[in-house]
Structure 1
Amino acid sequence: MGTHTSIDERYEFSGKIKTWSLIAIVIGVVGVAYGFLAGGDSIQRTFSNLLLMSYYFACVCTAAVFFLAYQYVAQAGWSASILRVPQAIAKVLPIAAVILIIVAAAGLFTTHTVVNEEGHEEVMPYLYGHWAAHGLTDPKSEHYDALIAGKSAFLNVPFFFVVIVGLTFLYSLFGHLLVKYSTNEDELGGMFNYNKSFKMSCIFLVIFGFTFPIFAFDTVMSLEAHWFSTMFGWYNLAAMHVSGLAVITLIVLYLRNKGYMQWVTENHLHDLGKLMFAFSIFWTYVWFSQFFLIWYANMPEETVYFYKRWEPEYKWWFWLNIVLNFLAPLLLLMSRDAKRLGGRLKLTAIVILIGHWLDFYLMVMPGTIHRHPGHEVHIWDMYGIQEIFIAVGFVGLLTFFTFNSLSKFKSLLPKKHPFIEESLHHHI
């Protein structure tokens, strides 16, 4: 690929990246098929991994809308020349939302028989069995759970889908509008579309700030419905945001290495590096705060969340989570020069994405994988084809649809953005 310097350059989605993304999708399909056909506990693991990756997929796409919105509200100039990348990711959010809704519905309405802690058999959904199992809110049932009954105004099937469908639709709508106004701006010029982008971004950030914690409560925290943390929504917001930044950085670096977006300099990379560094620290702050407040306030009923994650099959990963998501970004990006090196940024972004896969894994798995009484679970029982193949499949989905969306833009540069000259001559 030759070097492109024209402001009218278009991205052509072809070659190895297209082929490999399709191969990755096929690998993911194979992993899902294997998980369901293997039967037994493998089905539960497959549902759990599908929820993990569909939630991660939706979070990364939502992070792109979030990135666009706060860039507009801050009236940031440095990012104007790279906005096509988060716009392309934002265009994939409706697809990610549909996949998440299908996975949640399938896991909620498909049941299986498990042996509970008392050794009795119980019919439960593959997902959300902690609150959606039959009889939990019926005082006449032997399975009645007063705590779940007290939360039933929020934890019920209709409201569950109202939250997931409604919020993903709203986030997708705002993403669509921000992309639409930007492309219209290229055609018409002037400040009209930019001003609309600014207003929509302000509205989105207000809605998003209040609703994303609810989305996280509904989709992930309700997997362990007896437990509750007011920090959980912000913890998920931090993980979602830094993962989205890592994806944006990797795509910008890939395009730059292929000869596109040659206007991106080490100064733009420096800003992306600062954001990844800062929000990795913020993620650590929220992660520790959630842990510390439970310990310091001496709330033993809330420690069940962390107690599960100190079981032998999770404890090693619990500590690796901190290494990948805090220590690695801290040490790799601490210096100014490190943030300006493409290779260092690429390595850090990959570590962050793997780290937050593990982060979401530790959120989802302990609340969905059932330990059989008397059966010792080993670390090798918890990881296998489903984890690897399904993760690869969703990477393929994100890659294919994002680069396909990127190829639809008439130009990789929002050439009539009012701050485009500032971005093209950005220097720090």
Structure 2
Amino acid sequence: MKTEYSFNERFEFAGKAKTWSLIAIAIGIIGLIIGFLDKSEGGMQRTFNDLLLGGYYFVCVCICGVFFMAYQYAAQSGWSVSFLRIPQAFAKVLPIAAVVFIIIVTAGLFTKHEIVEEGKKVMAPYLYAHWATPGLTDPKSENYDAIIAGKSAFLNIPFFYGVVVILLALYALFGRMLVKYSENEDELGGMLNYNKSFKAALIFLVVFGFTYPVFAFDAIMSVEAHWFSTMFGWYNLAALHVAGLAVITLTVLLLHQSGYLGWVNENHIHDLAKSMFAFSIFWTYVWFAQFFLIWYANLPEESVYFYHRWQPEYKWWFWLNIVLNFVSPLLLLMSRDSKRYYARVKFTCVVLIIGHWLDYYLMIMPGTMPERNSYIPFGIQDVLIFVGFAGLFTFLMLQALSKFKSLIPSKHPFVQESLHHHI
């Protein structure tokens, strides 16, 4: 079967898309300035938390691009080929996102401030103070913490950097390989590069499946180092996937409505919406399993995590998290027709992107903010910094997308299957 569409279509990054992404970056810079000038109790802490949240969200969405490509190749799937350039653009941004994240955690680890801990003044870092504060693992120190000392083989700065740097480098490397093989495929044709992509995807999925929970443990769970959950890594993986799918789907829809990707039809959007719906249910399953087991066991070392999030200033946001990330996609995308209605799918994408920002917010803020300051659950800089990271991602991703010679992998063996996809 032949197609009426040109395989030479390229994305031009100009006009409103570039202007608005730059405006969003400027808004984020304003948020940072406001945060760093905030002299109230916890003001600087909130700013570093926002940077950690934004950097983590940024890197997770980019990783999802690699993950999406990998399981499509592993499943030998054809339906997604027509918009595969979108997750490929995410993968091309991943090295930059990784560097930004590493800079943020480095600044937070080595910038210290004075806090009062059990009546004692302690110089603690803004990020990961629960395990990186000097003296916590030294029995001779007045800051000694037996629990942290018991976890010190994992919770120490060299190991932390080893996990973060090596894993992000691996994910970026696999992403680069998958993009390179696809570009070579367009130049050379044949099955050689597709077969390479298939093998690389299988290896990546094994590596990613075993290592991403460790990355989540280090990057996010360790901000509250006394607490632990063996389900936390899978909970974060589910959040990464849903948020990434929402961004991919929203990007496809916006490009399609701007005149690009004319070959994308309601069947492709249906499958993307179906994936968002399915993995939102999976996210809820993991969230509830972690919550229910900890609540039911009522062990102090575990239930303290939810105790912080059930304080009056956070409890409303705690339940809103469930409404945005479970109830909303359930009600908006359950029927078949709703998955094919572009406006509704686009709205759901926005809800899920905001919802998983709130999800990450609740992972970081309640256990790290000073109690007296936490009665203001949101500051203006929280929103502004989030907008800044969204603008940075949009700018870099669309710039990467504009570098492709074609918006479709024209010599992918399943390209015709995707162009004539129908369900």
TM-score range (shorter-chain normalised) is over 0.9
Residue 44 of structure 1 aligns with which residue?
Answer: 45
Residue 69 of structure 1 aligns with which residue?
Answer: 70
Deviations 1:217-239 (A, max 9, x none): 00000000000100000000000
What amino acid maps onto 2:395 in structure 1? F
Deviations 1:258-291 (A, max 9, x none): 1111110100001001100000000000000101
Q: 1:414 aligned to 2:409?
A: yes
**TM-score calculated relative to the size of structure 1:** 0.96
Residue 384 of structure 2 aligns with which residue?
Answer: 389
What amino acid maps onto 2:262 in structure 1? Q
Secondary structure (helix, strand or coil) at the match of 1:92 reads helix
Residue 217 of structure 1 aligns with which residue?
Answer: 217
Do the aligned residues in 1 keep the contact of 2:72 with 2:80 (CA within 8 Å)?
yes
**Following the alignment from structure 1 to structure 2, what is the Cα–Cα distance between the partners of residues 98 and 367?**
26
Q: 1:403 aligned to 2:404?
A: no
Deviations 1:38-89 (A, max 9, x none): 2342111100000001000000000110000000000001001110000011
Q: How does 1:221-370 map to 2 (within 5 A)?
A: 221-370=221-370
Residue 27 of structure 2 aligns with which residue?
Answer: 27
Do the aligned residues in 2 keep the contact of 1:5 with 1:260 (CA within 8 Å)?
no
Do the aligned residues in 2 keep the contact of 1:217 with 1:232 (CA within 8 Å)?
yes
Give 4+ residue runs of structure 1 displaced > 4 Å after superposition.
none
Shift of the alpha carbon at 1:377? 4.5
Residue 199 of structure 2 aligns with which residue?
Answer: 199
Deviations 1:316-352 (A, max 9, x none): 0000000000000000000000001111110000000
Do the aligned residues in 1 keep the contact of 2:226 with 2:301 (CA within 8 Å)?
no
**TM-score calculated relative to the size of structure 2:** 0.97
**Following the alignment from structure 2 to structure 1, what is the Cα–Cα distance between the partners of residues 325 and 366?**
20
Shift of the alpha carbon at 1:301? 2.2
Secondary structure (helix, strand or coil) at the match of 2:124 reads strand
Shift of the alpha carbon at 1:244? 0.4
Deviations 1:232-264 (A, max 9, x none): 000000000000000000110011101111110
What amino acid maps onto 1:88 in structure 2? A
Do the aligned residues in 1 keep the contact of 2:82 with 2:418 (CA within 8 Å)?
yes
Secondary structure (helix, strand or coil) at the match of 2:410 reads coil
Distance 1:21 1:376, change over 3 A: closer
Percent identical: 69
Shift of the alpha carbon at 1:195? 0.3
Residue 93 of structure 1 aligns with which residue?
Answer: 94
The two structures, once aligned, show a CA RMSD in angstroms of 1.1
Shift of the alpha carbon at 1:419? 0.4
Residue 84 of structure 2 aligns with which residue?
Answer: 83
What amino acid maps onto 2:188 in structure 1? L
Alignment gaps of 5+ in structure 1: none
**Following the alignment from structure 1 to structure 2, what is the Cα–Cα distance between the partners of residues 193 and 12?**
27
Shift of the alpha carbon at 1:121? 2.3
What amino acid maps onto 1:362 in structure 2? L
Alignment gaps of 5+ in structure 2: none
Residue 60 of structure 2 aligns with which residue?
Answer: 59
What amino acid maps onto 2:284 in structure 1? T
**Following the alignment from structure 1 to structure 2, what is the Cα–Cα distance between the partners of residues 23 and 280?**
31
Do the aligned residues in 2 keep the contact of 1:13 with 1:403 (CA within 8 Å)?
yes
**Following the alignment from structure 2 to structure 1, what is the Cα–Cα distance between the partners of residues 143 and 116?**
13
What amino acid maps onto 2:334 in structure 1? M
Shift of the alpha carbon at 1:299? 2.3
Deviations 1:178-227 (A, max 9, x none): 00000100000000000000000000000000000000000000000000
Secondary structure (helix, strand or coil) at the match of 2:280 reads helix
Residue 140 of structure 1 aligns with which residue?
Answer: 140
Distance 1:8 1:310, change over 3 A: same
**Following the alignment from structure 1 to structure 2, what is the Cα–Cα distance between the partners of residues 301 and 289?**
17
Secondary structure (helix, strand or coil) at the match of 2:122 reads strand
What amino acid maps onto 2:189 in structure 1? G
Do the aligned residues in 2 keep the contact of 1:137 with 1:149 (CA within 8 Å)?
yes
**Following the alignment from structure 2 to structure 1, what is the Cα–Cα distance between the partners of residues 73 and 245?**
16
**Following the alignment from structure 1 to structure 2, what is the Cα–Cα distance between the partners of residues 58 and 425?**
33
Residue 173 of structure 1 aligns with which residue?
Answer: 173
**Following the alignment from structure 2 to structure 1, what is the Cα–Cα distance between the partners of residues 236 and 44?**
26
